[in-house]
Structure 1
Amino acid sequence: MTIELRADGISKVFGGRGSQRKAVDDVTVAVRPGDFTAIVGESGSGKSTVARMMLGLMAPSSGQVTYDGVPLTAMTRAQRMAFRSSVQCVLQDPSAALNPRKTVRRTLAEVIRLHGLAKRRSAVDEKVDEALASVDLLPTGTFADRFPHQLSGGQRQRVLIARALVLNPSIIIADEAVSALDVAVKAGILTLLEDLRERWGIGYLFITHDLPVVKKVAERTYVMRAGRVVESAPTDRLFSAPETAYTAELLGAAPVLDPREARRWLRGAPA
């Protein structure tokens, strides 16, 4: 049986009695190692809330999230530790995710020691070097002893990816991981993610509002609106023949090389 991270009919309600707001409503999403799956939608559509529930950072109000067939809420301590290693996240803002007082070496070393991957300093340093080399931060010694403010935005994002890779994950949930980067740096990060997928079989759940990126990298795409999945399809089919008016509007509003293509999407939008 292939490992799968799966959300079945998950919903999330915020607020108390009389002031409740349903941020996510009956969403089903699945991703396996080797997949490149995207969730797209406007700001406030609920996609980041779905990501947090699938990471186990937030409990669904209804429905359940399972990993390898086991509900996150029913996991033993050992199963939860294994889940934390196997499913990692890369967030949008590396400046907020990295402690400005810690060097890259110390940031990675803490993860390595916490999970018992190495104890001796030489062994820890070796794993730090391996992680930095895997994200093309070379020479590793140059980057390992820098603080976050001494790195560019793209380099900081690579450090976050290296921190995830230290635990040898099967799946990475990337929440707007390239949205704050310029075009050239973004392309480099996407190439790195694809290379890691090919080399190590990592699967991605890619949360974004950037449709050109989705078209380039994702194999399957879920479209969210107001907390619900309104369309789910292989990415090529979704871009060429969207089934809902909302998806067609999103595609028509996205930056494209040929403006005539955007107008065609809008004219052909289904009712």
Structure 2
Amino acid sequence: MSLGEDGYDEDHGLTRTRLPEGGDDPYGPRRGGRNGRGGRGARAGMSSRNLVTVVGVVVLLIAAIAFANRGGGSDSGDSDKSGEKVSAGATAPSGVKPVASGFARTEQGAQSAAANFAVALGGDGMFRTESRHAIVDAIHTPDTARDLQAKLDKAYTADFFKNLGLNDDGTAPKGQTFVSRTIPVGTKATSFNENETTVEVWCTGLVGLAGEGSTKPVAQTWFTITQKLRWTDGDWKLTSSEQKQGPAPVSGDIRASSADEITNAVKGYGGFTYAR
């Protein structure tokens, strides 16, 4: 995985992008309803018992396990349908290639690395063995990656996928779309030197199945990841990562979108391959 060309600052080795601003959030979590899992209820479901810790905690694995254990209602009764479908071509990611390397040996470079690592670890690529191995190898130190690969291979099992409503191989059931995205909201370096640094990344995330009949509708989560990075072979690499819940804002009075609307948005709007 190499540095993308779009938005690349050759003078400083930094990559920047702006996230969308304003407007109603079409991905807002379900409020109230049959399952009673909205606002505080959804966050309460992410209890500490649902967190799985391994060497270099993987963000998505923790969020997905919490999601799998929270249960969920069905979107099959949604009556509102989206209008024209957005072209699937829009799912092409920002940037020519995913950004996972080429960060500056500065405090801001370390924060950029941490934000990008959160995005990579929070994507649906972590649910496919080949792409998961590539992601873990690309952003961790060699010794950390070696230990983590085996643990993750044991964690991503058919039973784990089943709890998420997925097929045994991690794919979505026919007619449904698996959504897994992590969006950094902000970063902060709590310690820094040219060899090692610790960065906190405040994130929101989307995880669930979009489609008619889904029993695991797409929900929003809020969490903070504390990442320890080491300058290795000319770049920042992860040595460990930990996650905690929040800070989570009060949910707005926004109507939960229909299954079709969520599916259309996910297929029509590509996720970011880089942040900050």
The two structures have a TM-score, normalised by structure 1, of 0.29
Q: Max radius of gyration: which structure? A: 1
The two structures have a TM-score, normalised by structure 2, of 0.29
Greater length-normalized contact order (CA 8 Å, ≥ 6 residues apart):
2
Higher helix share: 1
